[in-house]
């Protein structure tokens, strides 16, 4: 879990450095990166499907698949947290 947060900080630093070098609007880049990370977490977790589909998926998947799905969606959300923090700092203070 800590590795995901550190990965989010590293991603934020790389994005900020790239935006500074390329002279691109960093607010837009951070927002898009946040949306992509959260979207991937939603897709992996299966939260974007209907109840019937979710019930069918849960009954047919193994415990290791379920653990992988939940762990990776949590890790993506944790990696998105620093990106959101930097986005809010840029939006309100810069």
Q: Global pTM? A: 0.89
pLDDT at 34 over 90: yes
**Residue pLDDT, tens place only, 3-29:** 999 999 999 999 999 999 999 999 999
Distances in whole angstroms, Cα of residue 17 to Cα of each of 12, 47, 69, 78: 8, 33, 31, 21
Instruction: For residue 61, give every residue at least 6 positions away whose Cβ sits within 8 Å of its Cβ, in sequence order, or none.
Output: 69
Q: Is the dihedral of CA 85, 88, 90, 92 positive or negative?
A: negative
- Can you give the residue range of the structural domain that contains 18? 2-93
Residue 87 has pLDDT above 90, yes or no: yes
Q: How many CA atoms does the CB half-sphere of 22 hold within 13 Å? A: 10
- How many structural domains are present in the chain? 1
pLDDT the model gives residue 4: 95
Rg over CA atoms, the chain:
16
pLDDT of residue 56: 83
- Give the chain's end-to-end CA distance (angstroms, integer): 30
Looking at residue 67, its pLDDT comes to 93
Instruction: Give the pLDDT mean for 51-76.
Output: 89
């Amino acid at each position: 879990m800590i590795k995901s947060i550190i990965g989010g900080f590293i991603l934020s630093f790389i994005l900020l450095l790239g935006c500074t070098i390329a002279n691109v609007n960093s607010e837009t880049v951070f927002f898009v990166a946040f949306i992509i990370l959260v979207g991937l977490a939603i897709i992996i977790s299966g939260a974007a499907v209907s109840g019937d589909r979710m019930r069918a998926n849960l009954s047919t998947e193994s415990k290791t698949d379920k653990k992988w799905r939940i762990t990776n969606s949590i890790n993506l959300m944790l990696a998105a947290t620093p990106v959101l923090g930097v986005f809010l700092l840029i939006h309100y203070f810069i």
